[in-house]
Amino acid sequence: MAPIVAVVGEEYRVEFSVAGWYTRPSTVTYSDTENLTNTVNGTTTTTTVNGTLVDFKKDLGLSNQTFPEGHVTVRLAPKHKLRGEYIPLQYKQTVAPLAADFNFNGQTYKAGQIVESTYHWNQWKVAYEFDALTFDRGFVGGMAAVSSMNISAAMANSAQSGTASVNILMPGLGAIGRYYLTSKFSVTADFFGFYLPGSDTSTHAHSLELDGYLTYNLNKHIGARFGVRAWDASHVWGSPRNTGSVTIVGPYLGGTARF
């Protein structure tokens, strides 16, 4: 049996963490369908331009990049916590020349053109955590959470530009566990699953998030953190139809301050 230790890093009311996440996306796709209306001599017609499912890595040159992230935890009571997180991913790239035609936001981008693009995936989540099992070297808990995914993409060439975006709110559940290897050194793993149900023709989405990290606490107020995070998410917006998916794995490095 491991000896009882007086851990450093759990006596706080508020904890702030910041980090830089080196994202290594393996999948980033996005499609936007638009209904275009035109009125001639008092007669209005509507044309649906089906969007192409664009692969931002293969077709547009999206690359690995580092982005900031922020977290806050408020200890409401010994076993009760409120957590918040914000992670903005904002990729920007240029491809020259474009390899194949595609439709986006009701417009057609032709092969051979120079196309600038952005892809933003901004997510925040708020979670209530209850640590059902606590012991001298750590805890195990469950979480109920809500997540907001704001997903947007933009394209531009010398003649035209277009932007499409959706915002999807999802409920979710999670679990967390922490164990102190020594009084100042801990390992933590947490998992979240978010899901918005829907049919093939209505809005629906899911997000799975796995996070594991090591923390070394210099003292009860300051610590350093290194971890690896994996995201897998997809969405379908019902009308006009907007779809996308993203899979990202990458390490991050940051620090923690507690009060």
Q: Is residue 211 part of a domain?
A: yes
Hey, CA dihedral for 189, 195, 200, 203, is it positive or negative? negative
Q: Is residue 7 part of a domain?
A: no
Boundaries of domain holding 70: 15-258
Which tens digit of pLDDT belongs to each residue from 124-162? 999 999 999 999 999 999 999 999 999 999 999 999 999
Look at residue 83 in the predicted model and tell me its pLDDT: 98
Q: Is residue 45 part of a domain?
A: yes
Pairing between β-strand 102-104 and β-strand 107-109 as defined by DSSP bridges: antiparallel
Which tens digit of pLDDT belongs to each residue from 30-61? 999 887 777 777 787 778 888 999 999 999 99
| Average pLDDT for 69-76 | 98
| Average pLDDT for 161-178 | 96
Residue 86's pLDDT band, with cuts at 50, 70 and 90, is: very high
**Residue 79 DSSP one-character state:** T
Q: Is residue 47 part of a domain?
A: yes
The CATH number of residue 208's host domain is 2.40.128.100
Q: Is residue 9 part of a domain?
A: no
Question: Which tokens hold the place of 153?
Answer: 């993409």
Question: Which tokens hold the place of 160?
Answer: 């035209």
Q: Is 94 left (phi over 0), alpha (psi -120 to 50) or beta?
A: beta
Pairwise CA distance, residues 256 & 73, whole Å = 11
Instruction: Name the domain count of the chain.
Output: 1
Look at residue 1 in the predicted model and tell me its pLDDT: 57
Question: Which tokens hold the place of 62?
Answer: 């999206």
Residue 2's pLDDT band, with cuts at 50, 70 and 90, is: low
Residue 208's pLDDT band, with cuts at 50, 70 and 90, is: very high
Number of other CB atoms surrounding residue 94 within 10 Å: 11
Burial of 115 (0-12, 13-18, 19+ CB in 10 A): buried
Residue 109's pLDDT band, with cuts at 50, 70 and 90, is: very high
Q: Is residue 21 part of a domain?
A: yes
Return the CA Rg of the chain: 22
Q: Are 127 and 144 in contact (CB under 8 A)?
A: yes
Number of other CB atoms surrounding residue 60 within 10 Å: 25
Pairwise CA distance, residues 30 & 244, whole Å = 4
| Average pLDDT for 166-179 | 97
Question: Which tokens hold the place of 200?
Answer: 């093939």
Using alpha carbons only, give the angle 210, 212, 213 rounded to the nearest 5 degrees: 150
Q: Is residue 3 part of a domain?
A: no
Percent of the chain with pLDDT over 90: 86
Q: Is residue 188 part of a domain?
A: yes
> 132-162 burial, b for 16+ CB within 10 Å, e for fewer?
eeeeebbbebebebebebebbbbbbeeeeeb
**Residue 50 DSSP one-character state:** P
Residue 181's pLDDT band, with cuts at 50, 70 and 90, is: very high
Look at residue 49 in the predicted model and tell me its pLDDT: 83
Given a cut of 80, is residue 70 above it in pLDDT? yes
| pTM score above 0.85 | yes
